[in-house]
Structure 1
Amino acid sequence: MLSKDLIVNKLYIIPAGHGMLKEFFFNTNLGADNPELLYSPLCIYLLDTSDGPILIDTGFAEVFLNNPDFYKGTPLEGALYMYMEEDHRLPNLLKRAGLQPKDIKLVIATHFHSDHSGGNPYFLETQTPVLVQQNELTILDDENYSPPACRIKGLNYQVIDGDYQLCDNIRLISTPGHSPGHQSVLINTASSGYVLLCIDAALTEANFRNNVPYSAADPEVAAESLKKIQAITAEHNAFPIFGHDEKQAKGIKVYPEFY
């Protein structure tokens, strides 16, 4: 699929909207009745590589477009608000980098939650390969898991099971718990060395540094996955990028800057 010695020239982080979530999602020790809401930044990740552009995650489902009250009247009312604008539709995010969905050589799907896979429909017609963990495919029929746009059966799925060395400089790390087939991504970039995209295996620095428990489908498995990425980060002296950390998002390099 890709050259073994593929070079990751640049890792771009592209902001893609934000959510307001109950603090409980980030720290389950607080209890579900805690009323505080926290800002939750959302990004997609674009790799400029010697084999062409690779996309990691595709952002919000478009049911959230100018519709932060999507969950009104559901069990999540008051706990979760998604803020998506026209600029956050995937084609507009890619346009910032001079790209269209058809230009993407490979999509890495970390998981199928509503804020990470909402742009997947743009790869139906192109039949771009979408790399996904086998266990994440088990939720495609689960209407409570995420909106339909995030659970498309007709994509060109390239299915892996467990850790997977995509090429010398990109390694997929199986980190289930937050979702059945969640995966993180270890990238060796030409200019910045190793970067670990924790995605939702560590939502915040507090989760990563202090083992603060967060919302997960299987908390025990999630805790083991957290230990795994902590060890990998230490082994490679990698820079960890957390999934939804407001403080980190304020200081991180975003497009057109890169890692």
Structure 2
Amino acid sequence: MDKRLVVNKLYILPAGHGVLREFFFNTNLGADNEQMVHSPLSIYLLDTSDGLILVDSGFAEDFLNNPNYYNGTPMEGLLYLYMKEEHRIPALLGSVGYKPEDVKLVISTHFHSDHSGGHKYFLETQTPVIVQKNELTILDDETYSPAECRLKDLNYQVIDGDYQLCDNIQLIYTPGHSPGHQSLLINTKNSGYILLCVDAALTEGIFKQNVPYFAADPEQATLSLNRLKAIAAEYNPLVIFGHDEQQAKALKVYPEFY
């Protein structure tokens, strides 16, 4: 990867949505609170001077036209994921005029069901997939996410902590939501700095008001959130939250770009 790489365009590609108990976004409400909220999902495509970089790959195809996937499990009634054919990686990339084999690098923020489901399309091409070392600890955990989200044979490029991919892309280690979650600070040619919190800050309320949310390690999640706030204060970026319904309505999506 060219260290002087320029991020010409950052595309936001809507990739489906979830409907889930509001408790997951605000644990102060209590697990018995039945209020449901809409949770949009997007992935990100970076058009750079050194080729295409994909950030996450969306839903596992177990959810394709199957929002009741969790029926009969402890998650029944708590979470519904809505994926259509247009949300598969070949279709998402095709909508921008590309194919999976055109992607030079995948950055995997974590292996949850809605962020790594399309990784399988980069098996045959052996496209490098950057992942945090601690996220690999869940590859054998069948309760973590569907099997296609936890593939062992990908061309993983394993990092451990913060990593400066190039002058204009920094990977920020933000564990807590998952064991090896990572966020990104990207300096784009057209829009300046953009902070992709991904699931280290699901919503603006979590980011700005420290609303506690459901996390694998709440203490680590709080530390990671504070790091992101410090980075935001230093760089004054556009801060994009992982699943904020109101923000998603205002963000530019393909064919517009940042």
Deviations 1:74-120 (A, max 9, x none): 00000000000000011000001111100000000000000000000
The corresponding residue for 2:100 is 101
Letter matched to residue 125 of structure 2? T
SS in structure 1 of the partner of residue 52 of structure 2: strand
- Whole-angstrom CA distance in 2 between matches of 1:87 and 1:9: 25
**Matched residues in 1 for 2:130 and 2:40: separation?**
24
Does residue 43 (structure 1) correspond to residue 38 (structure 2)? The answer is no
Partner Cα separation in structure 2 for residue 47 and residue 224 of structure 1: 28
Listed as ranges, the matches of 1:114-129 within 5 Å are 114-129=113-128
* 1:50-199 superposed matches below 5 A: 50-199=49-198
Identity of aligned residues (%): 72
Deviation at 1:230, TM superposition (A): 0.5
Moved over 4 A (4+): none
Offset, 1:234: 1.0
TM-score, normalization: structure 2?
1.00
Match of 2:233 in 1: 234
Residues of 1 paired with 2:122 and 2:33: CA distance?
39
Deviation for aligned residue 1:237: 0.7
Q: How far apart in 1 are the matches of 2:244 and 2:165?
A: 27
CA distance in 1, matches of 2:232, 2:254: 24
2: CA distance, partners of 1:106 / 1:255: 20
1:4, CA displacement in angstroms? 0.6
- Quote the offset at 1:189 in angstroms: 0.1
Shift of 1:73: 0.5
Q: Matched residue of 2:193: which SS?
A: strand
The CA deviation string for residues 40-93 of structure 1, in whole angstroms up to 9 with x for no partner, is: 000000000000100000000000000000000100000000000000011000
Supply the distance in 2 between the matched residues of 1:52 and 1:256 (Cα, whole angstroms).
18
In structure 2, the gaps of 5 or more residues are none
1:40 and 1:202 mapped to 2: Cα distance? 13
Specify the alignment match of 2:201 in structure 1: 202
CA offsets 1:104-148 (integer angstroms, 9 cap, x no match):
000000000000000000010000000000000000000000000
Task: Identify the residue that residue 15 of structure 1 maps to in structure 2.
Answer: 14
Structure 1: runs of 5+ lacking an equivalent: none
CA distance in 1, matches of 2:247, 2:159: 30
Partner SS, residue 105 of structure 1: strand
1: CA distance, partners of 2:53 / 2:76? 35
How many residues are paired up?
258
Find the aligned partners of 2:50 and 2:240 in 1 and give their Cα distance.
24
Matched to 2:89, the amino acid is L
